[in-house]
Amino acid sequence: MEAGKKRLATLVGCNYFDTRNELRGCINDVDSMRGLLVGRFGFRPEDVAVITDEPGSEVLPTGKNIRAALRSMADRAEPGDVLFFHFSGHGTLVPAVEPHHHGRSRRDEAIVPVDFNLITDVDFRQLVDRLPPGVSFTIISDSCHSGGLIDQEKEQIGPNSAASARAAAPPPDDRRRSRGASRTLPCEDILQHVSSLSAVESEHVGDHLLDIFGGDASAKYFSRSTSTPEPPADAVGADDGILLSGCQTNETSADTGPGEEEGEDGKAYGAFSNSVRLVLGEQEEGEGGMSNRELVLRARKLLRERGFEQHPCLYCSDENADAPFLWQQQGEQL
């Protein structure tokens, strides 16, 4: 990377302590990722923001605080910079703003902060669109239903790609089994919670989030309140948004308990976050950077070998699919 170019990261882990939605591995995920970023990928410790709901945390991973951290990274970004966001926690599917968008009913992807102020696929699309040219923004979302979390980003590995089908094919004697707790929080549960706090009468979760959080709610729901149509699917060209999702849109991601991973350190982790860490850890120091495509395919393979049924996906431009993860050597080409 060229001298003076920045590497900025925001890492968010939500364990949802003392709730019926509690998870165990999310804070461990981001702690482990922080060590990897600083020790292997050249991030300065002061440029890595960690936001968790660990007891005693001064800044909690609410929707407002996560958005503020992401905006702060975007505001600091200059051409050639590398931005990274890792979310470990619950994901959900929410009703689309336009119920008959593209002629059918659909649900869209969102991550779930601790206050349920959802951050949606539209929010991530807007964040990518505001970045200066030549700034990469990589997301790892270890959450349920995370495929497609950057709205309209091109699928490289996923349910509709040939590479996905080959990578997902089990061996002849496949003994896969469901493992770990699900990192999903059904939208119906979220709607029940936020509607109890809201003064409006509506069956759409977005109306309640707007009423409760106002200007801090997802941009997706402002378009609903003003009847502004979503942009057409071909409105977005190639950009440097890169999403590595823990699973496909219709799947769940696993939160594993201590001892559920063979040969591990006894801590709980997210199955996808842990697989990424292990795959990257196989690289020798000084070895050429692993591409985003290779990282996702190898994480898929490792998950399958360990008995998990989720299928990580990759969404980005054709160029970034084969670019090194976190642009380890990309500075030479800028």
Q: Is 332 helix (H, G, I), strand (E, B) or coil?
A: helix
Closest CA to 248 of 138, 148, 120, 162: 148
d(CA 271, CA 65) in angstroms, rounded, equals 26
Helix, strand, coil abundance in the chain, percent, nearest 5: 35, 20, 45
Active site residue 144: yes
Active site residue 316: no
**Catalytic one among 144, 187, 247, 316?**
144
DSSP states of 68-82 as a string? HHHHHHHHH--TT-E
- Backbone dihedral angles phi then psi of residue 92, each to the nearest 5 degrees: -155, 170
**CB-based contact 11:48 (threshold 8 Å):** yes
Closest CA to 163 of 303, 282, 295, 308: 295
On the CB side of 110, CA atoms within 13 Å amount to 30
Residue type, 276: V
**Catalytic one among 90, 145, 208, 311?**
90
Six-digit token string for 217: 């709610």
- How far apart, in Å, are the Cα atoms of 181 and each of 184, 254, 329? 9, 5, 37
Which residues belong to the active site?
A: 90, 144
